[in-house]
Chain A
């Protein structure tokens, strides 16, 4: 981990799915020592025991080959502990002693039952920051409810805005926006607490409701209601104030391109490209924003007849060269066609015991002078049991015993 911003911080991650694990990886990216405490013997959510849609074909345990797991677990060490066992609790207590941050993702109340609620944890280490990231938070009527990101998307009103204008909700694809943004929220929360610790000289407990972490991101949804008593309608890709602003067909079957012209200059550039220069003549109604809003259909048609002659990358190139907002609607394989990403060496090639060398998506950010690197590929279950336990001062025999009595492990039963 060549970036050293968070060097010296020790992070314990006891979370599943995405929001928590990704946050821990981001901390790892920046030099923190991150230990993932993985569920054992129950395999964690992102480690299926039988192949499914995101499983890479090949040798080795299925649970080491799932894309959803690999997406959120780089740059951390891995311990698989059964903390229901006293012997497991004992190990975890030791880990807590000199940790700075403990992130847990159980449903509300569960962690208390395991004996690691904030009351217990702060007794063990008064300086630690503990973050609980239950979907609806630890307090309130929903505290016991369970959900994935998709449920939060639905209850924040976001889902009500996505989707085709004339379509039905059942056509709207669930998404996991709370996972994609939650990791940053947790990251920020952890460091906020650590900065607080500098002043108050004691640890902090953070109740992070992923629902609350998501809902502030959609001010317009609430404001339309509180300001104007309107329930915002589904707009699809349209914008009520910007024409053109949409997605258009390209020459390739079911491949698309985004085109938008937000002001008169971009409009000028667009009209030059699609051969409608007369539409910029001051006397033409489309030369101004107000006129264009009235002509949405005709304008969209004209743009599509242009974009349909090219593939998305080429059309975007042509339009961008004339200062028009345009981008291909990228499919997963298309990502590898972006000169930009290659030129910036964004993709990372990692060599993993069971996936072999693969090219995966890179970091969320660059930092200079000490740049980021992908030092630890997604760790295997319990890969660092011995290493960490030794650091904690347990001897070899004891460690073998722990394996023997199932306190720790390095593989899951299928």
Chain B
């Protein structure tokens, strides 16, 4: 079976994780993705971890995971000769993803004109206009703008970010959505579109931020860390061999939980009916012993049988052995620059699990496809060497 995006060609010109994360999904579902990189390589190649902690421009975990199946070409597009190559490249492609400083993106976008050129998506921290457009941001400083760091932390302790890189990934992933949208649009109505994704807006405008709630209620989120002690139980609770996370503060889950841990009487107890927000301690006298007695996987299975929303808190070492992950082959072993390597598999499955629509191919070595691509673009051997010699390609 042919992969769904196999007749599509995407150009990625990216200085951060976001661009790579954006085009990964295209590539894994069959699109040809051409990564245009500087001599020093896309920054994502320098993101640890590395095998045995030895830096390797072709062996970083983010690169191996997010550049799967792509082609890598080195082009210095700061020069006219470089732009001339890009121009030919654009015309070969259906979509261009930019993730560079605003001014650079504008320059690279300017040579695009007319509807026989591809649609583009430009990723920036604050957008292509406005007083902040040229600001320097990173994964953490963008998250700070989205009210999430403030919310996901405790009073008078420093606000907290999410896992390193995850904000840029979300931004790139958002760009992937609009990208496939305008690609579809151009296929339908032949109109070339330029989309822009501003990191701050993409995250702030999404769910799981405190902004809209505040607009509605004027209440600041309580910075109370993991356990909400007014509307409980929700959050992270210790158990025999680790932690579980509960979302059982509301009905019908609260009742289910009380039944599941064998204390239906809680539901009749006036302390929890009339004055729940002040009786967390009292409630823990029922829940605490149950949690202490059992390990996280038992609690997970047992409470879920009663339809309670609960999950174990897992760490890296648990992931590969997770029964669900095994059953669905959620992790795939592939050959890579560092040898055998595990990657997360399909984010979604067409028709059936592990069908052919999703394929993970190894990530390209820096510049591995430059020569091939220049040939394809019609350059002669002599011209190709000249470009290399002039440090325009590598």
9 interchain residue pairs of minimum CB distance = A5-B185, A151-B311, A223-B61, A332-B214, A219-B65, A216-B344, A67-B216, A225-B316, A196-B4
* Pairwise interchain contact B217-A57, C-beta atoms closer than 8 A: yes
* Pairwise interchain contact B313-A159, C-beta atoms closer than 8 A: yes
B102 near A: Cβ within 8 Å?
no
- Could you tell me the distance in whole angstroms from the C-beta of B9 to the nearest C-beta in chain A? 13
Contacts of A55 in B (CB 8 A): 216-217
* Pairwise interchain contact A172-B236, C-beta atoms closer than 8 A: yes
A397 near B: Cβ within 8 Å?
no
* Pairwise interchain contact A224-B49, C-beta atoms closer than 8 A: yes
* Pairwise interchain contact A217-B213, C-beta atoms closer than 8 A: no
- Could you tell me the distance in whole angstroms from the C-beta of B240 to the nearest C-beta in chain A? 14
Interface string of A62-73 (1 = CB under 8 A from B): 000111101110
Contacts of A216 in B (CB 8 A): 65, 343-345, 347
**Cα distance A207–B351 in the bound complex, in angstroms:** 7
**Cα distance A173–B146 in the bound complex, in angstroms:** 16
Q: By DSSP majority rule, is chain B's interface helix, strand, loop, or mixed?
A: mixed
Interface string of A304-331 (1 = CB under 8 A from B): 0000000000000000100111111111
* Pairwise interchain contact A220-B247, C-beta atoms closer than 8 A: no
Nearest A residue to B46, CB-CB: A241
Contacts of B96 in A (CB 8 A): none
* Pairwise interchain contact A177-B347, C-beta atoms closer than 8 A: no
A204 near B: Cβ within 8 Å?
yes
23 residue pairs bridging A and B, Cβ less than 8 Å apart: A53-B231, A56-B216, A70-B212, A147-B310, A155-B313, A162-B152, A180-B170, A180-B207, A209-B330, A218-B163, A220-B163, A222-B61, A222-B319, A227-B338, A237-B140, A237-B159, A246-B158, A323-B136, A330-B150, A360-B215, A362-B201, A366-B195, A370-B193
* Pairwise interchain contact B205-A344, C-beta atoms closer than 8 A: no
Contacts of B346 in A (CB 8 A): 212
Contacts of A57 in B (CB 8 A): 217
Interface size range of chain A in the complex: 35 or more
Interface size range of chain B in the complex: 35 or more
**Cα distance A329–B146 in the bound complex, in angstroms:** 8
- Could you tell me the distance in whole angstroms from the C-beta of B254 to the nearest C-beta in chain A? 14
* A-contacting 9-mer, from B78-86, B125-133, B263-271, B367-375: B125-133
**Cα distance A44–B294 in the bound complex, in angstroms:** 33
A87 near B: Cβ within 8 Å?
no
* Pairwise interchain contact A67-B213, C-beta atoms closer than 8 A: yes
- Could you tell me the distance in whole angstroms from the C-beta of B242 to the nearest C-beta in chain A? 8
Q: Which of B66, B142, B214 contacts A219 (CB 8 A)?
A: B66
- Could you tell me the distance in whole angstroms from the C-beta of A138 to the nearest C-beta in chain B? 9
A340 near B: Cβ within 8 Å?
yes
A283 near B: Cβ within 8 Å?
no
* Pairwise interchain contact B330-A212, C-beta atoms closer than 8 A: yes
Contacts of B236 in A (CB 8 A): 154, 159, 169-170, 172, 174
* Pairwise interchain contact B316-A222, C-beta atoms closer than 8 A: yes
* Pairwise interchain contact B173-A185, C-beta atoms closer than 8 A: yes
Contacts of B136 in A (CB 8 A): 266, 320, 323-325
